[in-house]
Structure 1
Amino acid sequence: MKVIAFKRDLQGTGASRRLRISGQTPGIVYGGTEAPVTISLDHNALYHALKKEVFHSSILDLEIDGVSQPVLLRDFQVHAYKQLVLHADFQRVLADKAIQMKVALHFANAEVSPAVKLHAATISHVLNEVEVSCLPGKLPEFITVDLSNIDVGHSVHLADLTLPEGVTVIAHGKNQTVATALVPPGHVSAEAAPAADAAPAAKKGKK
């Protein structure tokens, strides 16, 4: 995604307030081999971009006064109750230096899993994103969690994820649960239902 920005020289609370009144959002670019640069961005464009998942987990093409550079969105602040982006932080990335980034999880194939098909189970998503380490060119937009084999009472953990080549999960020594399957109270599985129906019939035959 491409982001257009402009260098700004005036800093401070008053200057930032005037920027916001004029429809701009103050920001900063740092990292890499260059000094930090304060910037301004079009507020409406930034506001709508922040609603897109890809904007938070992709290498962005930041153009400042006509010169482009690859960056990551590292932080942003929004107003407590207004639809207003107060500030945005971007970090430069180098092609040969690994980065750490949170990537969204997309869950797939739950409807064909034994847990859902046989037991009418509910799949609970424990994690919605994971932190990964990789070179900038290997950063995935998202990671797919395949739920096709999950059964009742079982879970999918970080170690079960299929990761793109060159991407590793930062687990901090914990094999965290990603998703789990549980039967809601009062639900009867497809396997248990025939057995329950057969029990009264067997008792009637004995009489």
Structure 2
Amino acid sequence: MAKENFVVNAEPRVDQGKGASRRLRREGKVPAIVYGGKDEPTAIAVSDNELFKHLKVEAFYSHLLTLNLDGVSQQVVLKDLQRHPVTGYAIHADFQRVLADKLLHMHVPLHFKGSDVAPGVKTGGGIVEHQLNQVEVECLPKDLPEYIEVDLSGLNVNESVHLSQLQLPAGVTLVQLKHGNDQSVASVHLPRAAVEEEVPAEAAPAAEVPATAQKAPAADAAKKDEKKK
């Protein structure tokens, strides 16, 4: 997996609180915090434009980042991001320092391939449904993957790929599997409309009433009329 280099330039901020955060945003800056590692949590501010550009790249969310603060570079990961509910712009970010010998827990996106050649899709008329779009991994910082690939090329109708079937990079484990949760990642199934069309066709013979049974009520009625006479 090719890796990108992301640099986040930050400055310390002294004033905190809602008022200070609003002033920062008016200046084109996003309030943030960096914590973890061997140092105390530090309130910082980053450029709104710079962060906006980074956030458009998927790898930024699951990548080791270089944070420059007061002339010192440190490795961090983006652990949390708050966005404005209307505009979607970042209004606060949390960065976590990483240590080379300490395990990380990070959410990593899934990249799906092979759905167009899967037998269940190509010849079976099925469609692919994704149950997960990301997974939580545990690994050392040096082993952190930008994404995990999911191969769907072998799936037939009513088959699925589970977490235990994913090909993981060396040194990477899935947190879900450590807790015994081997859930489905993606599956192939027939469209709902196709399934609904098949059911009435199969049920039709059972719903047919024999001709003798159809005539029975009429014959009974005729006998009753004859007795009355």
**Same structural fold, with TM-score higher than 0.5 when normalized by the shorter chain:** yes
State the TM-score, normalizing by the size of structure 1: 0.87
For 1:106-150, what per-residue CA distance to the aligned partner results, in whole angstroms no more than 9, with x for missing partners? 000111111112212101111000000000000000000011111
Query: What amino acid does structure 1 have at the position aligned with 2:187?
Result: T
- Does 1:159 find its partner at 2:179? no
State the TM-score, normalizing by the size of structure 2: 0.79
Query: What amino acid does structure 1 have at the position aligned with 2:7?
Result: K
Query: What amino acid does structure 1 have at the position aligned with 2:40?
Result: A
User: Structure 1 vs Structure 2: percent identity of aligned residues?
Assistant: 51
For 1:186-207, what per-residue CA distance to the aligned partner results, in whole angstroms no more than 9, with x for missing partners? 559xxxxxxxxxxxxxxxxxxx
Structure 2 Cα separation of the partners of residues 12 and 165 of structure 1: 43
Secondary structure at 1:149's aligned position in 2? coil
The corresponding residue for 1:181 is 188
The corresponding residue for 1:133 is 138
- Does 1:75 find its partner at 2:66? no
Structure 1 unaligned residues grouped into runs of 5+: 189-207
- Does 1:145 find its partner at 2:150? yes
Query: What amino acid does structure 1 have at the position aligned with 2:122?
Result: K
Structure 1 Cα separation of the partners of residues 156 and 68 of structure 2: 48
Structure 2 unaligned residues grouped into runs of 5+: 1-5, 196-229
Structure 1 Cα separation of the partners of residues 88 and 36 of structure 2: 29
- CA deviation after TM superposition for structure 1 residue 83, in Å: 4.2
CA RMSD after TM alignment: 1.4
Query: What amino acid does structure 2 have at the position aligned with 1:25?
Result: V
Structure 2 Cα separation of the partners of residues 12 and 153 of structure 1: 53
Map of 1:5-24 to 2, 5 A cutoff?
5-24=10-29
The corresponding residue for 1:98 is 103
Aligned residues, how many?
188
User: Which residue of 21, 24, 32 corresponds with 1:27?
Assistant: 32
Structure 2 Cα separation of the partners of residues 14 and 113 of structure 1: 55
**Larger Rg, first or second structure (1 or 2):** 2
